[in-house]
Structure 1
Amino acid sequence: MQPSTALYHSATLARRAALAAGHARSAPLSAKHSPPAEHSTLLPRTALQAQLQASAGQLVLLHAPAGFGKTTLLHQARAQLKQTGLACAWLNLDRSDNDVARFTLCLEQAANQIGLAAVPNATVFDAALPWQQAAAPFALFLDEFEHVHEPAVLGIVRAIIAQLPPHSRVFIATRNLPQLGLARLRSRGQLLGLNADDLRLTLSETQAFVRMACPQEPSFSTVQELHARTEGWAAALRLACIAMARSSNAEQFVARFSGSERAMAEYLAEEVLQGQSPAMQEFLRTTSILRQLQPAICQVLLPQLDCQAMLSQLQNSALLLSPQTQEEDSWRSHSLLADYLRTQLQAQQPQAFKRLHATASAWFEVHSQAVAAMDHALEAQDHAGALRMLERHVDDFLQQGRMRLLARWLTRIPQAMLAPHPRLHAAAVWATCLSHGPARAETLLRAALQQHPGHPELTAHAAALWPTLRLMQDRNQEALALGRVSLRALPQGTPFITGTLLTTMAHLSYTLQGSTAARALLQTARTHSQQGSRFLHMYTEATEGLLDLQAGRLRQAAARFRLAVDASHAGHSNQLQGNAWAGVFYAYTVYESQQWLRAEQLLNVYLPLAREVGLPDHMVLSYAMRARMAFEQGDVDLAQAVLIELEFLGHRRQIPRVCAAAHLERAHIYLRQGNAHAARQALQQAQQGPTWEREPHERWFAHETEYPALAEIRWQLHFGCPEQALALLGPEIQRAHTQRRERRTLLLQLLRSLALANSQRPTDAAALLGQILPTIAHEGYVRLVLDEGPAMGQWLKRCQQMGTEHRLRLPWASDPLQTATLNRLVQAFGSLPEDPTHNPDSQAVPALEQLTRKELRILTLLAEGYSNSAMAEKLFVSDSTVRTHLRHINRKLGTGSRTQAVAIARKLGLVG
């Protein structure tokens, strides 16, 4: 379990009592929000600070190995910005921050420190919102970012950077290049990156540092030699100054060492240790296994020493020890020195290394810090102790859905030692299934069943696992058959197993049979989730939400998905367990209601998890949303890149439906661009193979409103014959209505209304729109309408004009909610070209003044959907230059908007 912030701001004795009572979290979070304390040898990096101030980059990235002064530079940048009145937040990162909820909590506390308003009832996907919605500019400093690799955490940071308010900046110090879309940021001039070469000390800086650090300044030639040998490496210079201050001859000392950074680190560390007392050497060596040095745990590792006195003594040497916060008794050793000492301890005294980790593990276990206790036990290779703790906590972790944590631990324990533990075998399969996908999990399950044939508990887990694995592999008929057998064989008293199987069967039952049986199964499953399983609560609510959504109840589905997401991190631990099942579905409802900022937040967290696990519907839905948002924002290149990645994932996972979905979405983009030939080709590619033979009989969530028959209707509406579209719509509407697929029926009726309008039957079209507009209004559908593109917008705008002019008795005219909904949808479409079906003469071809090659290129990009900024980026010109060309194009074509210009250009054959 992990500690609340309030506990960590209380006194030490009270904190220990809380830990013993089992209410703690992990490391003191207050220590994470303070940079290292300033010390007398903090060298001003004036030139680099000037470079930072001159840069307009939203992200400042310091990328260099340990000891190159990254933290020092961040520290000074923070101090300089604070002097200007800018609000600054600092966050020290460590491995534990790969837990999404912990990182979210730390980020929230950082936001609170600078007065950013919290999001009411916030969940993990809201983590970036306070930073994106800040009223005043700020600077966020993230130190030691190399510890972060969890895709969901990186996604949150990407979201913050992508939506920074004006004049705000993010500063990151890291040893490794993070996956934050750096190339894109660099191409847009939003990144200032400094590497090791940039951070190396100049000769003058080396001289200034030596003057501050050494009681007797050596000669200039000695400083020159020292600078050449350290190659401007700040950490080497610091340690050299410590050792040199104790040397009787500075010139001889400098002449004695050379070589690589690692060699210098070893040499200088040895020199530093030689200058310490034996007791201090032992203290530094022993405590190097700890991330943070606190008196209590240090005393346990070194009972023969006065550790509080040792820490106080070291505190006077800021080069060796840095306080983690001004309020807590918590420090850390110089990272270069600690790394070296830890490596040496493990190499030279392997038994002592293991014993110290074992002792630390025992201390953390007594103080109810199970995660830290497990980590130290595994470092000690105390697999027996780790197994004992896992046996004790594994059911709780499964019920909480902490699958990724379990997967990390269980992969570090030798398989031979897991053999006598069938419960842990079962946990390993669940953890692998929901963290790394069903293929790897199936391999583990077969091996476990072979090792423990007939074991009752493992057999019970397998009964729930087999249909779940098949469901995740898109083998629904096989999964349903396996599940029916399993339901008859499950023993009593297995709430996690029974509840999970019942929910899986509910999902399969709806997919293959309909909602009646599915709801009955879910009701039974809930009786098991009520026994405290957050995982089951998430799973049942998410599945119920799917049933609501397919029935057209968007608002109720959104509420259920929100509950399911909340269930993943409910309780005092506030842990998000990294389960993408509910998160992607909730992202869809948020996207549907046009809350794109929140949708991006959810996708940043959950898309990487869905991709890693390989959930077909989740992958398709996530990538489709990403592609459509990119296209709407004018980034056509990104939209195409997203779909290429989706197609690649389908091939890699061997899921043909995923590949076909990428082609369908590509057809949708071409259709929006007005490219009939390319849209037809993409649609034909999507229909290759037997993929869609199951679609009439299976309800695939990701394809409820995107499947070949519907894509063909859209193509006919845009490029073919509206009468042909009407002929295709009839059977599709009847089938969807018979199967009670209300969301699909709603969209098909919307397209039928457009087809009637295009067939010069406006009265019938308006009457049909009047039948479906109440549902759109009451449920809050937005993207279902807007994703059909300008043609739908033109029709709705015409209906809006009809209501204003009272030319027809319209069913929505007397309903304020429906009228407001229609107005809001028309407004959301933005600038629309004239509707040729309503006013055929509105786009008469003007006398054409010849367009330049650059103007034709811009017109082509405009027709393909690029925004002004995207066109500027592709053409290597400024936004103002693009706007100038657009004015010239409108003047020459006699048009008043970009959409009208594209329409005229298509009529003239200037664009495809």
Structure 2
Amino acid sequence: MPTGLETTQQSRLPAALPRGATLGPKLTPPQPSAFEIARTEVCERIFAAGAAKLVLLRAPAGFGKTTTMLQVHERFVQTGLPAAWLTLDRADNDVMRFLAALTATLSRLIPGLASSQEGHSGPDELAFAVIDRVAAHPAPFALFLDDFEALQNPAAIGIVSELIEQLPRGAQLIVGSRGVPELGVGRLRARGRLLEVEPAQLRFSEAEADDFLRQRRGLQLAPDDVRRLHRSTEGWAAALWLASVSLENRDDPGRFIAGFSGSNAAVVEYLVEDVLARQSAEVRGFLLRTSLLNELNASLCDAVRGSDDSEHLLRTLEQAHLFMIPLQGDHSQYRYHGMFAEFLRTQLARHHADEIPRLHRAASRWYDERRRPVPAIEHALAAGDLDHALPALAAHGQELLEEGRVRLLSRWLDPLLESGALDAYPILQVVHAWAVCFARGPRAAAQLLDRLEERADPDPEVRAHRLAMRPLFLSLTDRIDEAMPLSTAALEEIPQDLAFVSGFLEVCMANLALIAGRFHDALRFADAARSRQQVRSSPFNFSLSEAAEAAVDMTQGRLRKAIAGLRIAVSAGAMDAIRSTNGNALAGIPLAQALYEAGQLEQAERLLVVYIPLIRGVCIPEELMISHVVMARIAADRGDMERAEQVLVELEHIGHREGLTRVVATARLERVRQLLMADRLAQARSELDRCGDKAMWQRVTKLSLRANEVETYDLALARWSVRTGHAAEVIRPLRTELEAAERAQRERRALTLRLLLAQALYRDDQRNKAVRMLARAVRLACVEGYVRAFQDEGALLMVILRELRAQPDLVHEDGHGEEALAFIDRLLREPAPRAPVADAALAGEAASVDNELLTRKELQVLRLAAEGLSNDALAERLFVAETTVRTHLRNINVKLDTRSRVEALAAARRRGLIG
């Protein structure tokens, strides 16, 4: 039973569980078997792995992962190390439900964590609030996650990956999984932060098999029988257990042991079948007929079986140790061991296939009576009962779509479309097309829309959906010119009382108006879409309309307002557990971009960890480009150029695969910028020449496309020209572009144009004009906090900024003088001395040499090395591999013309790089 404290903590969690669901069973470690043996060798390896952040027990079912984890958990508890347990299941792929369970689990380790999360409604906000609290926790702990293979949602897996990265010193995550999870295992292995326990290490040794069979199970076996059984099962724990059950009360165990060999599924089936055959007919019938249920309770089992004795049978099975796992402290809820359930379902299909539809129908009715439509529909579909499933889907499909449950809908509706079952339900075909669009992308959904248009159903609601889908799909596949006229025509034809359809089309119109530079119209359409929706009635539409308005704010330079709006947009798409975050990538990624602009790199990266896997699956160009470019810049800022290049290569590959030329070109443009930052000018020019059709860029520059609002071919060419001594050639074109951006109210683009123009003027020896140009940029940017626009330009801009700091009168216009000076100080990281102009220029040039000589990451390595840290300690402090540290030190020696760490530190001190 949970304590009063635990009950209170759970009550403070966000409303993240479906009605009637409880967390208690998931947070309680399974009860150990009375016959288990101590896995001493494996457990000692885990106890000794204090440096590992992740302990991964990876093996198929039946290898004893859970048993080993239970023993480790008990050992930790006995030694006083706080430990908590969470068993995962398929329902945890709803991110808010997963976060609720994770928060409740961690609350047992970190007092007050649950109550501190009040007010965090969106998945990213809640996740990172939890992770931040965990990272700040001063004491070690162990968190156990069992059945990790059930977790398939990339967003949920991304949250666990980020949690691992942020674990405090001494804390560990112990994971049991049937496969290798996407948790950055390779990176953790390279850094020495991973302990892997594989099937070979989980197999019983002969001594352990002997202990289990003869001591724990009390079987009268000769040593040769044990040896033969161990050899034939290859130490597979499940097979040994099943063999022990089969061997009970046998007069000639040696003969039985000689009758089979191998440890494959056929042996398991044979052994389990032998176990099943020894049960009474009543127990066999119960096991088979309830095997289709994911949860077992007396009421549900009675309904499926048509009897009233299920409670007694459940207790009997538990006492007989027949693979029953209690889920509730009061033993009112159970589930079967996964391997046993699979076997029972196979047997049911083999011997009683004709009963399966009836059993599923009974389960569906039970869930219907309790108003749980999702499992009710699931069982109805499994029963092939389309007379019940299709009307239920028609009744709940649009609601589930508005809640964002697009993966569930596409999984249900895909086979129904192929079978023709949806022919009589055009509205479900519409729901299917929407779901596929946001689950697998607009290209996949376009084929479904083509089929709908071929049918030309006369129903006005279906026609309205078709009219709204086409321009949206076109805009999401970068076919803007085709989408614009279609959206205008559709808006005139769609009935205004169809809020969901009208809202989606108005969001589409808002984005198209933004692209065309008609910002007033974009805001008007976003307002119209939002006014149709209450947050809880259609979070999908509400989220996208908020994101559309924030996109206008970003383009027109209102960064603070954009961040506020995007936070609302992200939260609006996940008000409770049953609402997916999949659609929220369209708001989450712009929020990451906005936070990056504001210099909040850590928060931006965390968002991208969650949303990049989602957007790769959906493949919407703007979000693809924004997310990958921002992630590459964050990696480069840390000095991890290998990671930055990997992200850009992935973006380029997706562009090639999907035939999206702008995506390919944008990846290359960002590579050009990073090559220029590294002074690799020839390579930058070569890459610039591969950046795509110049005619395409002429068109793109005239449009306000969010991923290329700032970064275009012309700006990249201007950067290259400034760097290579051709600054004079680009001053006039940059002025022309700046005037055009200002006329069009594209203030974010104008900001970067001012920064580039300041650099060009400075290189052309027009230093006073350069400083004044930069002063204007600072006055405008400081109000909104555009930090990265300055920092991403590199060392030369910092030189000009130092000169500006030495002339404070230049930034005292518009009443923002002190704010502007504080902003400059933040950019320079420390206040600049108030020196005369000439001296400041010289000091700036000297600083430029040092800043361009060593990267920020190399300077960080030097400062830590000055503290006397070893390479291993440096790697741990910087969260990189030890080989990466050696690479940084080698590069430092080359740049400083030194031969050792001692010489490098001395040279760095002489240059004033470190204290």
TM-score (norm 1): 0.88
2:705 aligned partner:
700
Match of 1:336 among 331, 336, 339: 339
Which AA in structure 2 matches 1:451?
Answer: R
CA distance in 2, matches of 1:478, 1:895: 63
* 2:830 aligned with 1:824: no
CA distance in 2, matches of 1:109, 1:639: 36
Q: Which runs of 5+ in 1 are unaligned?
A: 11-21, 847-854, 903-912
Which AA in structure 1 matches 2:820?
Answer: Q
Match of 2:255 among 230, 252, 256: 252
Q: 1:598 to 1:212 in 2, by over 3 A?
A: farther
Pairing 1:252-651 to 2, within 5 Å after superposition? 252-304=255-307, 306-318=309-321, 320-327=323-330, 329-415=332-418, 416-530=420-534, 532-570=537-575, 576-651=581-656
- Given that 2:582 and 2:614 are in contact with CA atoms closer than 8 Å, whether structure 1 keeps it comes out as no
CA distance in 2, matches of 1:452, 1:785: 54
Q: 1:636 to 1:273 in 2, by over 3 A?
A: same
Q: 1:821 to 1:273 in 2, by over 3 A?
A: same
Match of 2:37 among 38, 43, 56: 43
CA drift of 1:662 comes to 0.7
Q: Deviations over 1:391-434 (max 9, x none)?
A: 11122123223222211211132431100100001111111111
1:850 aligned partner:
none
1:851 aligned partner:
none
Pairing 1:151-230 to 2, within 5 Å after superposition? 151-230=154-233
CA distance in 2, matches of 1:840, 1:434: 51
* 2:39 aligned with 1:63: no
CA distance in 2, matches of 1:842, 1:86: 53
CA drift of 1:573 comes to 5.1
1:127 aligned partner:
127
Q: Secondary structure of 1:173's partner?
A: strand
CA distance in 1, matches of 2:909, 2:316: 71
CA distance in 2, matches of 1:814, 1:457: 54
Which AA in structure 1 matches 2:68?
Answer: L
Q: Secondary structure of 1:594's partner?
A: coil
Which AA in structure 1 matches 2:530?
Answer: R
- Given that 2:799 and 2:844 are in contact with CA atoms closer than 8 Å, whether structure 1 keeps it comes out as no
2:11 aligned partner:
none
- Given that 2:357 and 2:383 are in contact with CA atoms closer than 8 Å, whether structure 1 keeps it comes out as yes
CA drift of 1:523 comes to 2.4
Which AA in structure 1 matches 2:475?
Answer: L
Pairing 1:7-18 to 2, within 5 Å after superposition? none
- 67-76 or 508-517, which deviates more: 508-517
CA drift of 1:34 comes to 1.6
- Given that 1:578 and 1:606 are in contact with CA atoms closer than 8 Å, whether structure 2 keeps it comes out as no
Q: Deviations over 1:194-214 (max 9, x none)?
A: 221111011111122124432
Match of 1:33 among 23, 27, 38: 27
CA distance in 1, matches of 2:429, 2:839: 64
Q: Deviations over 1:479-502 (max 9, x none)?
A: 010011111211242111111111
Match of 1:741 among 746, 749, 769: 746
CA drift of 1:835 comes to 11
- 440-449 or 651-660, which deviates more: 440-449
- 40-49 or 81-90, which deviates more: 81-90
- 533-542 or 593-602, which deviates more: 593-602
CA drift of 1:761 comes to 4.2
Which AA in structure 1 matches 2:567?
Answer: R
- Given that 2:507 and 2:526 are in contact with CA atoms closer than 8 Å, whether structure 1 keeps it comes out as yes
Q: Secondary structure of 1:289's partner?
A: coil
CA distance in 2, matches of 1:236, 1:371: 36
Q: 1:752 to 1:880 in 2, by over 3 A?
A: closer
CA distance in 1, matches of 2:67, 2:830: 48
CA distance in 1, matches of 2:788, 2:375: 45
CA distance in 1, matches of 2:893, 2:365: 70
- Given that 1:616 and 1:658 are in contact with CA atoms closer than 8 Å, whether structure 2 keeps it comes out as yes
CA distance in 1, matches of 2:163, 2:811: 49
- Given that 1:151 and 1:608 are in contact with CA atoms closer than 8 Å, whether structure 2 keeps it comes out as yes
CA distance in 1, matches of 2:378, 2:117: 33
CA RMSD of aligned residues (A): 3.4
- Given that 2:364 and 2:380 are in contact with CA atoms closer than 8 Å, whether structure 1 keeps it comes out as yes
* 2:231 aligned with 1:231: no
Q: Which runs of 5+ in 2 are unaligned?
A: 9-15, 833-837, 851-857, 866-873
CA drift of 1:470 comes to 0.7
CA drift of 1:447 comes to 1.0
1:790 aligned partner:
795
CA distance in 1, matches of 2:146, 2:255: 37
CA drift of 1:702 comes to 0.8
CA distance in 1, matches of 2:909, 2:839: 15
Q: 1:844 to 1:29 in 2, by over 3 A?
A: closer
CA drift of 1:521 comes to 2.1
Q: Secondary structure of 1:37's partner?
A: coil
Q: Percent identity?
A: 34
Q: 1:422 to 1:628 in 2, by over 3 A?
A: same
CA drift of 1:262 comes to 0.5
- Given that 1:569 and 1:577 are in contact with CA atoms closer than 8 Å, whether structure 2 keeps it comes out as no
CA drift of 1:684 comes to 1.4
CA distance in 2, matches of 1:442, 1:86: 55
Q: Deviations over 1:619-677 (max 9, x none)?
A: 00000011111111121111111111101111111111000001101101101111011
- Given that 1:292 and 1:331 are in contact with CA atoms closer than 8 Å, whether structure 2 keeps it comes out as yes
Pairing 1:639-788 to 2, within 5 Å after superposition? 639-688=644-693, 690-788=695-793
Q: Secondary structure of 2:689's partner?
A: helix
Q: 1:280 to 1:671 in 2, by over 3 A?
A: same
1:111 aligned partner:
106
TM-score (norm 2): 0.88
- Given that 2:36 and 2:216 are in contact with CA atoms closer than 8 Å, whether structure 1 keeps it comes out as no
Q: Secondary structure of 1:419's partner?
A: helix
Which AA in structure 2 matches 1:51?
Answer: R
- Given that 1:41 and 1:209 are in contact with CA atoms closer than 8 Å, whether structure 2 keeps it comes out as yes
- Given that 1:579 and 1:609 are in contact with CA atoms closer than 8 Å, whether structure 2 keeps it comes out as no
1:906 aligned partner:
none
CA distance in 2, matches of 1:31, 1:267: 32
CA distance in 1, matches of 2:910, 2:381: 62
Which AA in structure 1 matches 2:119?
Answer: N
- Given that 1:671 and 1:718 are in contact with CA atoms closer than 8 Å, whether structure 2 keeps it comes out as yes
CA distance in 1, matches of 2:364, 2:816: 71
Which AA in structure 2 matches 1:433?
Answer: C
CA distance in 1, matches of 2:880, 2:576: 48
Q: Secondary structure of 1:192's partner?
A: strand
- 780-789 or 612-621, which deviates more: 780-789
* 2:86 aligned with 1:81: no
Aligned pair count reads: 865
CA distance in 2, matches of 1:310, 1:419: 44
* 2:99 aligned with 1:97: no
2:854 aligned partner:
none
